[in-house]
Amino acid sequence: MSGVIGQMFSGYLQAALFTGMHGKGGMSAWRWLFIFDFILAIPVAAYGFITFPDTPHTTRAFYFNEWERERSRQRIEEEGRKPVGKMDWSVIRRIFGSWQVYAFTAAYSFWTLTCGSYVMQYFGIYLKKTGWYTVPEINNIPTCIGAVNFVVMVSTGYIADKLGGRALVCGVVGCWMILNYSILTAWDVPHKLRMAAFIMHGCYGCFTPLIAGWANEACGGDQQKRAFVLSFMVSVGSAVVIPFQQIQMASGEAPEFAKTHGWGSALAWVVALTLWTGAGLPLVQRWRQKEVVVSNREDEVTEV
């Protein structure tokens, strides 16, 4: 959520700096942007260092008293969650022998390969190439993507909680993304429709909390597995998108990507994402859960 709002704020900050600071001190607006980013980062880093509480078993946060620390540890036990403990080879074998690390890494990688996080940049390039918009407008208009992202992220999280599952929500949003990417793949459409496709692309962002929450829930009380799966899927997803973006959707070919067929390539990954999160992943999860139930029953019968 903070990342979405941060993207929007960045656009407004760039527009304001171009209007009020461009040329001041002999520096262009984009140079001032780095200075302001540094200034803004200092209180954020200090706030995080002081206020983030760490885990219930290691926290030294000043705003918790001893009873609250003890109660947080009790809740971990009541919910069947174990302390993180030490990472060793047995933990690694257990993690890579599980289905979660592969299923959710695939889901997150499909999501990153849609290059959704780059579309705001491509939208700005498109607005600039039309020649119809001022520099502040080129910085401000793409923030509409962030506004859509914020609304969809909040609403889909609420709906997923009400439904008690994320597959249907992922499938619906995936179909919405397929429509947006199909319009951009066709490209030869009216300007207003192309603008709408860019702006409505903001729906892509809800996949991050949906997939992360899903992985967190699927890993259950195994905190080591949960921590590893979440970090591993993000690492792999970030790694695979870099060469894909550089080859298929390089900024130099934006916004149409006629030579590389970038929008069409990304559309293929959107389809894969929709099918996997909407149907494949829930089927795998149910299948593995049934195996666990059957195994537990067999163990109970053996003990009797």
Taking the C-alpha atoms of residue 166 and residue 174, their distance in angstroms, rounded to an integer, is: 12
Would the pLDDT of 301 be above 60? no
What is the average per-residue pLDDT within 189-199?
95
> Model confidence at 193, in pLDDT bands (50, 70, 90)?
very high
Would the pLDDT of 183 be above 60? yes
Of the CA atoms within 13 Å of residue 267, those in its CB half-sphere come to 15
pLDDT at 82: 60
Residue 29 in tokens: 């607006």
A 10 A CB-CB count for 301 gives: 8
**Of 169, 171, 203, 173, which is closest to residue 275 (Cα–Cα)?**
171
pLDDT at 16: 79
Burial class of residue 114, CB neighbours in 10 A (0-12, 13-18, 19+) = buried
What is the average per-residue pLDDT within 270-276?
97
Mean pLDDT estimate for the chain = 86
Enclosing H/E stretch for 180: helix 167-186
Which of residues 249 and 291 earns the better pLDDT score?
A: 249
pLDDT at 174: 96
Query: 179 and 232 in contact (C-beta within 8 Å)?
Result: no
> Model confidence at 14, in pLDDT bands (50, 70, 90)?
confident
> Model confidence at 238, in pLDDT bands (50, 70, 90)?
very high
Query: 149 and 206 in contact (C-beta within 8 Å)?
Result: yes
pLDDT at 258: 87
What string of DSSP letters covers 215-267?
HHHHTTT-HHHHHHHHHHHHHHHHHHHHHHHHHHS-GGGTTT-TTTTHHHHHH
pLDDT tens per residue across span 41-99: 899 899 888 888 887 878 888 888 889 888 988 887 777 666 555 666 778 888 888 89
| Residue with the two structure tokens 């060793």 | 88
Structural domains of the chain, with CATH: 1-81 (no CATH), 90-303 (1.20.1250.20)
pLDDT at 58: 83
Taking the C-alpha atoms of residue 269 and residue 263, their distance in angstroms, rounded to an integer, is: 10
What is the average per-residue pLDDT within 257-273?
93
pLDDT at 4: 64
pLDDT tens per residue across span 133-181: 988 898 889 989 988 999 999 999 999 999 988 999 999 999 999 999 9
pLDDT at 115: 92
What is the average per-residue pLDDT within 103-112?
96
Output the CA torsion sign for 7, 13, 17, 19: positive
pLDDT at 85: 59
What string of DSSP letters covers 263-294?
HHHHHHHHHHHHHIIIIIHHHHHHHHHHHHHH
Of the CA atoms within 13 Å of residue 157, those in its CB half-sphere come to 13
Would the pLDDT of 277 be above 60? yes
Lowest model confidence (mean pLDDT) among 24-38, 109-123, 179-193, 235-249: 24-38
Out of 86-90, 229-233, 288-292, the most confident range is 229-233
A 10 A CB-CB count for 267 gives: 19
What is the average per-residue pLDDT within 237-241?
94
pLDDT at 149: 92
pLDDT tens per residue across span 22-45: 788 888 887 888 888 888 889 989
pLDDT at 276: 96
Taking the C-alpha atoms of residue 237 and residue 116, their distance in angstroms, rounded to an integer, is: 12
